[in-house]
Amino acid sequence: MPKSDLKKFKLFPRNLTARADALVRGNPVTSRPESGVENCFPGLEFDQRNIDSGFFPGLQFEMHHTAGVVLRDFDNSAPAAAFLRRTDIQQGIFLAYVQGVFASRMTTVAPAPRVVRFTPPAGLESWRFVRDLEVGEIAVVLCDRQAFSRVANGNLDIDVVTEWLKKRENREENLPGIGRFVLLFGERVRFLTSNGVIDPDSIEPGQLTQSLCSPWQYDFADCGCFYWASNKPDLVSNDAQPEQVLNFQRKDRSEGGDRATTADDWVLKHENLWDGDSVIVRHAEMLTWWADLPFVIRRRETDRYEPTIVKPPKKPLDRVTIIDRLSRLASVEHALAIEYLYAYYSLGLPPTRPPGLGTVQACIYTAGTEIFQVAIDEMRHLRAVNEILIELGAPWQLDRADIIGEDFDGDGVAFQRPFALRPLDRTQLGWFIAVEAASQNQGDENTIDGMYTLILRSVAVSDEFSADQKNRLSALIKVIIDEGIDHYARFSRAKTALAGIPENEYLKVQTGPETVAAGHPDSVLQDAADAAYLVVLRSLDYVFQVGDSQRGAMMESARRAMYNMDDAARSLAARSRGALFDYRRFGRIQMQPAVKVGAAAGAMAPDAAQLRTRKVEEAQAIGAPLRAVLNQLATASMGEHVELARRMGQRLDTMTHAFEAIDKGT
């Protein structure tokens, strides 16, 4: 892409905060655009309703009231002062109509002023209209409580109000039998200065946060787990109920009330009012009960804390050792991804959730979804580790580990588990949970988390990396560590979902992979899955040979190879057979050295035609193993095999053409 074209996509900062290249002293971290979170409800950094309460010059409305948008104050110098008294506000003045240009997603329709009636159901619904009100001329129509009630009952046609507003003059209108209305005209208040920061003349100090979590006990009663203001527990366990199914806010904390044998035992208590107002601690009660709530440590209620004995940290690794560990971990990520995929396919599930599933099938599908998402993450981790290796000038690693959890330091503490494909039985799921568990010690070789944590700490304290390298490498490693914690939770949820369901009921494939005899219709399916597997790895190898500028586009094209492998593996699982996942029987991953054409000493630079020919040959060679198998599959006697060959062939052709079109040398 020419550099001039990049200008079309460049983002130019338009406000003062975004233009600042560093934290401004005195500003909170939430003033940075990457840290602030605007929220429609109280609980995060600020409450948008507090800004919009003064959208009309000289008036302050309350947007929180369920009866409607209520006028709470007006400036004595504002036009409203000529028509209203303070006693009117005490008796109730409501915003009945607003006229202005409202934001719209319909780009084909020219913006035009319109009138909106603000009657119940009001409150937040009305506020959303105010929030969408564009800057420019606006009008408001105010009335007392009795008139507002008649407006809500439809006694005043909106066409009458529209006709009123054609004359832009502050005034009163009286309708017999309905009431008195005050019509005010002005400009939508601007809350930002020309530099894009909040205007102190429009927003008073403390106004943005005045409605947030006050008192905090209310927030503790209402907000979900891990919410910013309180970090309140949600589902917990205790001695009487070891499964994490207890509502932390339950009133009945007796041993008999807590004990359950399955999740449904607790959820179905109190006639399905597991979290109803009558069975949990609510706002008013939380003001006095909060001090009696138990501590929750590692998701378990307790009245004591037993500190973890922390082992001394291991010695940081040097650059050479870090590269060696990452290279081995790449092969481990590869191995785990395939183990997870085989376990997922053993459930024999369709790619999308069918409607109307029964309870058991819904639980099986939930478990499968969790396993599949982790497998996808592991494939992404394989890419991330190789991106790090490339960043460090080391060869990328796409081979698969034969041993998961090597004893790197020779202390005899490591998994040392041979790679093995097994269905998702309880033993295999227990292994998945163990390998993804959070480490209690940096460098613990019994968890993936521990191995990466030691590398992260080593990068941070090393003097062999530049500051820029440390930032980039740390960001990638942290993502892997954080997602590993999520993997542990996902596998635990899968275990809960499958609890009580016999393995022979949820497993479509009940053994490890078994080679189908040659000549059997399913034999070519196993060939297709393994050939597609090799194409996935060759595609990644090809992608890693290009520069950063092209790698993203090529990676998107390489996904089609993964879709082909998935399609073939699902077809096998539907027939109660497992994919072999043996890419080696169809060839090597590396087809050629990762060097540019003509790079050898003394070699003449190739012309454009030669480069084009070479690029087409390389792209075709990636998919050659699968293409040969698909030719066999397309001639099968079974219609579903022929249709599978067609789908996979289309994806392979699309990927190949995309690779041919990308300049590999950039």
Q: How does pLDDT run across 84-96, given as a tens digit for each residue?
A: 999 999 999 999 9
Looking at residue 489, its pLDDT comes to: 87
661 contact partners, CB below 8 Å, separation of at least 6? none
Nearest one of 210, 193, 211, 194 to 202, comparing CA atoms:
193
**pLDDT reported for residue 287:** 81
- Please give the pLDDT value at position 44: 57
Residue 22 lies inside a defined structural domain of this protein: no
Query: How many Cα atoms sit within 13 Å of 526 on the Cβ side?
Result: 20
- Domain co-membership, 166 together with 101: yes
Domain of residue 567, CATH code: 1.20.1260
Q: Which of 253-262, 444-453, 507-516 has the highest mean pLDDT?
A: 507-516
**pLDDT at 595 (0 to 100):** 41
Mean pLDDT, residues 579-589 taken together: 93
Domain that holds residue 129: 55-187
In a domain, 177, yes or no: yes
pLDDT at 247 (0 to 100): 83
Better-predicted residue by pLDDT, 592 or 253: 253
**pLDDT value of residue 86:** 92
Which is higher by pLDDT, 264 or 608? 608
pLDDT value at residue 297: 86
In this predicted structure, the answer to whether residue 35 has a pLDDT above a threshold of 70 is no
Q: Which two tokens stand for residue 620?
A: 């075709």
Mean pLDDT computed over 157-166: 95
Structural domain includes residue 650: yes
Q: Are the CB atoms for 75 and 81 separated by under 8 Å? A: yes
What is the reported pLDDT for 537?
A: 94
Residue 661 or 543, more confident: 543
Same domain for 414 and 531: no
pLDDT, tens digit (0-9, with 9 covering 90-100), for 547-573: 766 677 778 878 889 999 999 999 999
Count Cβ atoms within 10 A of the Cβ of residue 308 and give its class: 0-12 exposed, 13-18 middle, 19 or more buried. exposed
Q: How far apart are CA 480 and CA 491, in angstroms?
A: 16
Rounded to whole angstroms, how far apart are CA atoms 616 and 610?
A: 10
Q: What is the pLDDT of residues 342-355, one digit of tens each?
A: 999 999 999 998 88
- Domain count along the chain: 4
Residues 508 and 519 in one domain: no
In the numeric block, the tokens 């996808």 are attached to 376
pLDDT band at 442 (very low <50, low <70, confident <90, very high): low
Least confident among 249-263, 321-335, 456-470, 624-638: 249-263
Do 488 and 523 belong to one domain? no
Strand, coil or helix: what is 64?
coil
User: Per-residue pLDDT tens for 176-186?
Assistant: 999 999 999 99
Top-confidence range, 228-232, 465-469, 572-576, 612-616 = 572-576
Whether the link from the prior residue into 33 is cis, omega within 30° of 0, is no
- Please give the angle made by the CA atoms of 380, 382 and 383, to the nearest 5 degrees: 65
Can you tell me the distance from the alpha carbon of 213 to that of 220, in angstroms, rounded to the nearest whole number? 9
Mean pLDDT value across residues 637-644: 88
- Alpha carbon of residue 284 to chain centroid: 34
Q: Which residues pair with 97 in a beta bridge?
A: 117, 141
8 A C-beta contact, residue 134 and residue 111: yes
User: Under a CB-based contact definition with an 8 Å cutoff, are residues 604 and 537 in contact?
Assistant: no
Residue 447 belongs to a domain: yes
Q: Does one domain contain both 535 and 630?
A: yes
330 closest CA partner among 489, 448, 462, 474: 448
Of the listed ranges 204-213, 281-290, 320-329, the one predicted with least confidence: 204-213
Specify if 18 maps to a domain: no
Contact between 98 and 133 under an 8 Å Cβ cutoff? The reply is yes
Looking at residue 599, its pLDDT comes to 47
Q: Which residues contact 304 (CB under 8 A, 6 or more apart)?
A: none
User: CA–CA distance from 330 to each of 352, 387, 396 (Å)?
Assistant: 30, 10, 8
Write out the DSSP string of 391-406.
Answer: HTTPPP--PPPSEES-
Residue 31 has what pLDDT?
Answer: 56
- Tell me what the pLDDT averaged over the chain comes to: 83
More confidently predicted of 240 and 75: 75
Residue among 618, 625, 599, 603 at smallest CA distance from 664:
618
Q: What would the pLDDT profile of 283-297 be if each residue is shown by its tens digit?
A: 788 888 888 888 888
Contact 641, 633 (CB under 8 A): yes
Q: Does a structural domain hold residue 43?
A: no
Taking CA atoms, 387 is separated from 96, 323, 599, in Å, by 59, 12, 23
Q: What is the pLDDT of residue 42?
A: 46
658 pLDDT band (50/70/90 cuts)?
Answer: confident
281: nearest Cα among 243, 233, 245: 233
Place of tokens 């970090």: 231
**Considering the domain boundaries, does residue 563 fall inside one?**
yes
Same domain as 624, residue 651:
yes
What is residue 597's predicted lDDT score, i.e. its pLDDT?
Answer: 41
Domain final position from 280, 302, 324 = 302
Confidence of residue 304 (pLDDT cuts 50, 70, 90): confident
Are 397 and 508 within one domain? Answer: yes
Query: What is the predicted pLDDT for the residue at 535?
Result: 94
Mean pLDDT (whole number) for 418-424: 95
Decide if 313 contacts 460 (C-beta within 8 A): no
pLDDT class for 121, splitting at 50, 70, 90? low
